[in-house]
Structure 1
Amino acid sequence: MSSEHWDDVARIYAQGIAGGLATFEADMPTWEAFSRSKNAGLNLVALSAQNEILGWTAAAATSTRPAYRGVIEHSVYVYPKHSGHGIGSALLRELINRARKLGYWTIQSSIIAANDASRALHRKAGFREVGRRERIAQGTRGEVAGQWLDTCLYELRL
């Protein structure tokens, strides 16, 4: 993923924000803010044969503490019209491969409990649910705006 991809990445991200179940993010970050907070070696886009961005994944350190240097938290988004075609699975597989090569030992994600598709995708990729946080935050957009939501913590040990 590079700055040239940002318009399409942001378009996909904006749909996730608007729906309310993909993220607690309320506003679209700038490319600079987004890229500064992520590990560039783990930020990936899935491209069609026509170079259309179908989805993306990004990851960041979970902590600056040295003890957690091998733990990352990730996000994965697929353009809605391309969901159900294995793009999310392919992105996760590549993220896992790259993280392993870079020496990470755990990949985690906090998923809004009502996001059944994301939870199923992560289970399919080998992640396991290790916890649930009840009423952890209020939805910011979509049908869940203002509602208290639970999140489920998923992790994959590499």
Structure 2
Amino acid sequence: MPDVTVRPMTAADARRVLSIYQAGLDGGHASFETTAPTWAVFDAGRLPDHRFVAVDAGGRVVGWVAVSPTSTRAVYAGVVEHSVYVDPAAQGRGAARLLLDALVASTEAAGIWTIQSGVFPENAASLALHERAGFRAIGVRERVARHHGRWRDVVLLERRSPVIV
């Protein structure tokens, strides 16, 4: 996607970030959540140094990536869980890969050794994207939670940094 660049996310991106998030939730295969949070909740739950947006040539935010800590325990300070979302109109053109690449660079520079995520097995595009970006499936969490009244499985993915040893 040569007309897309990645930059740090700011509060000024809130409306577009949450709109893209909601579009992903509406698709039914992105998250157990059904409604995007408020910006205050989104902001409080994600690490500020590892949030990025993909912006098209016209300056419009077309995707985002961010991480949350997986635990408050100090021994897990190097493990985060990420989310990546792209506007449906911009999907399939490389924005998600650019976002993941920026995230990997940022987290490795900060000493984070594992990025993980849970993806619905039906989300084949996300599973393929993550595999290309160096993530591996480490297992399936069967019937982990209900989504729209039915039990759903989640493929647990992780990327272990080869430079943080």
* Residue 115 of structure 2 is aligned to residue 107 of structure 1: yes
Partner of 1:150: 153
Give the deviation of 1:114 after TM superposition.
Answer: 1.2
Name the SS for the 2:81 alignment partner: strand
Which amino acid is the alignment partner of residue 118 of structure 1? S
Write the distance in 1 (CA, Å) between the matches of 2:133 and 2:36.
28
Q: Are residues 1:61 and 2:69 paired? A: yes
Which residue does the alignment assign to 1:142?
Answer: none
Q: Secondary structure at the match of 1:99?
A: helix
Higher relative contact order (CA 8 A, sep 6+): 1
Aligned counterparts of 2:65 and 2:127: Cα–Cα separation in 1: 15
**Equivalent in the alignment of 1:39:** 47
- CA drift at 1:26: 2.2
For residues 128 and 149 of structure 2, the distance between their equivalents in structure 1, rounded to whole angstroms, comes to 25
The answer for the alignment partner of 2:93 in structure 1 is: 85
Alpha-carbon separation, structure 1, partners of 2:35 and 2:149? 15
SS in 2 for 1:28: coil
Q: Distance in 2 between matches of 1:54 and 1:157?
A: 27
1:56-79 CA distances to partner (integer Å, 9 max, x unpaired)?
001011000111010000000011
How far has the Cα of 1:27 moved from its partner?
Answer: 2.0
Unaligned 5+ segments in structure 1 are 140-144
Query: Post-superposition shift, 1:113?
Result: 1.4
Q: What's the offset of the Cα at 1:152? A: 0.5
- 1:27 to 2:35 alignment: yes
Q: Which runs of 5+ in 2 are unaligned?
A: 1-8
Structure 2 length-normalised TM: 0.90
Percent identity between matched residues is: 43
Distance 1:124 1:3 in 2: 30
Q: How many residues align?
A: 153
Cα shift at 1:93: 0.4
Amino acid at match of 1:154: L
Q: Which residue number corresponds to residue 76 of structure 1?
A: 84
